[in-house]
Amino acid sequence: MSNSSPPVYRNSLAEHSNGRPLAKFASNAFAVACATCTIVCMATLVVLLWKIFQFGWGRVNLDFITSFPSSTAENAGIKSSLVGSLYLIGLTALFSVPLGVGTAIYLEEYCKPSRWRTFAQTNIANLAGVPSIVYGILGLGLFVRAMSLNRSLLAGALTLTLVILPIVILASQEALRAVPKTIRQASYALGATRWQTVWGQLLPASLPGILTGVILALSRALGEAAPLLAIGAATYTAFLPQDIVHDDFSVLPLQIYNWTDQPQEAFHQAAAAAIVVLLTVLICMNALAVFLRYRFSKRIQW
C-alpha cells in the first residue's frame, strides 16, 4: 500500500493482490510445483501397481494360496510363506507392543527430565533411522548365534522387533503426549496413583494413536526382507513351521525374492501374484488402523 496518497479501499480481495503480481505468481507457481510432485508420485505408484496387477492377477487364486512352493512354476504357491509371514507378524507384535508401549510410558510418565532421558530419547530417535539390514546383522550375531535360536521364527520375530521397536516407541510417546495435561491433573487430584492414571486414563485415551502406530510399524515389518535374509531365513520352505524355536520358516517378501531370481517367466508371474497378496494384507492392516482410529476418536473428542 502506498502511504503518499489517501488510502483507496478496494472492495474485493482479488483486486487487492493485483498490487503484487510477483507474489501472486510465486504463490501459484509453488502450488503447481507441489501438485506436480504429488502427481509424479501418484503416477509412479499407479503404473507400478497396474503392471503388477496386470501381470500377476491371473495367477491369484485359491490354489496359489493353499499350495506349497514347487519347482514347477505352474504348481507353485505361497502357503508356507503366507503362514510364515502371519506367524512372524503375530510374534513380532507380541514382543514389540509391550516393550514399545512400556518404554513410551516410562519415558513420558515416569522419567523426570534428566540427562538420562535426553540420552534415551535421542538414541531411540536415531535407532528409528538405522537401516534394517543392520538390525539383521545384529540379530544374526545375537539371536541366531549367541542365543542359538538358529534361523527360527523366534529369531526372526526378535530381529523384526528390533527394527520396529523405535517406531512403536515414538508413535506411543506421541499418542501419550496428545492426551491433555488437564486429564492427568484431574486424575491425580482425585487421589489416583501414577499407575492408576496411566492405566485408567492415559492408555484408554491414547489407544487409537498407539494402535495406529503399532499397525503401521507392523505393516513395515511385514514387508521387510533384508534383515530376514541377514539372519539366514529360508527363501522358500515346503512345510509349515510347527515350532517357533527349531523350524525354518519363510515369509512372503523372501518368497517373492526367490521367485524373481528364477530365470523362468512363469516364476516372475508367481512373484507378481505374491506381491498382490502381500499388498492385500498390507491394505487390510492399514484399513484396520484407519477404522480403529475412527472408532475410538469418535468416542474421545477433547
Partner 1 sequence: MVKLKKLSEPTPETLGPLVMSEMTSERPTTSLAAPVVGTDRSSLSADEMRNLRQKVSAQGVDFFYGSNQALHNVSLDMPENLVTALIGPSGCGKSTFLRCLNRMNDMIDDTIVRGDILLDGVDIYKSRTDVVELRKRVGMVFQKSNPFPKSIYDNIAYGPRVAGVKQRGVLDEIVEKCLEQAALWDEVKDRLNDSALQLSGGQQQRLCIARALATFPDVLLMDEPASALDPKSTARIEDLIFELKNSYTIVIVTHNMQQAARVSDQTAFFYEGSLIEVGATTELFTRPTQQQTEEYITGRFG
CB of 197 to partner 1, least distance (A): 8
Options 126-134, 186-194, 217-225, 262-270: segment touching partner 1 (CB under 8 A):
186-194
Among positions 17, 54, 185, 264, the unique one binding partner 1 when judged by CB under 8 A: 185
CB of 302 to partner 1, least distance (A): 7
C-alpha to C-alpha distance for 241 and 151, rounded to whole angstroms = 11
Instruction: Check: CB of residue 271 under 8 Å from CB of residue 74.
Output: no
CB of 115 to partner 1, least distance (A): 14
C-alpha to C-alpha distance for 43 and 58, rounded to whole angstroms = 23
Grid cell listed for 92 = 513380532
What mask, x for binding partner 1 by CB under 8 A, covers residues 56 to 95? ----------------------------------------
Residue ranges in 112-171 that form contacts with partner 1 under rule CB under 8 A: 112-113
Options 3-11, 49-57, 178-186, 219-227: segment touching partner 1 (CB under 8 A):
178-186
Among positions 65, 67, 174, 200, the unique one binding partner 1 when judged by CB under 8 A: 200
- DSSP letter at 96? H
Options 36-44, 120-128, 195-203, 287-295: segment touching partner 1 (CB under 8 A):
195-203
Residue 293 contacts partner 1 per CB under 8 A = no
Residue 242 contacts partner 1 per CB under 8 A = no
121: burial class by Cβ within 10 Å (0-12, 13-18, 19+)? middle
Q: Which residues contact 302 (CB under 8 A, 6 or more apart)?
A: 180
CA 233 vs CA 14, 68, 95, 164: distances in Å: 63, 17, 19, 18
Strand partners, 248: 152
Nearest to 210 by CA among 302, 93, 89: 93
Give 19-39 as a DSSP string. Answer: T-HHHHHHHHHHHHHHHHHHH
What amino acid is encoded at 194 in this protein?
R
Residue 180 contacts partner 1 per CB under 8 A = yes
Options 11-19, 56-64, 91-99, 191-199: segment touching partner 1 (CB under 8 A):
191-199
Residue 182 contacts partner 1 per CB under 8 A = yes
**Which residues contact partner 1 (rule: CB under 8 A)?**
112-113, 180, 182-193, 196, 200-201, 204-205, 299-302
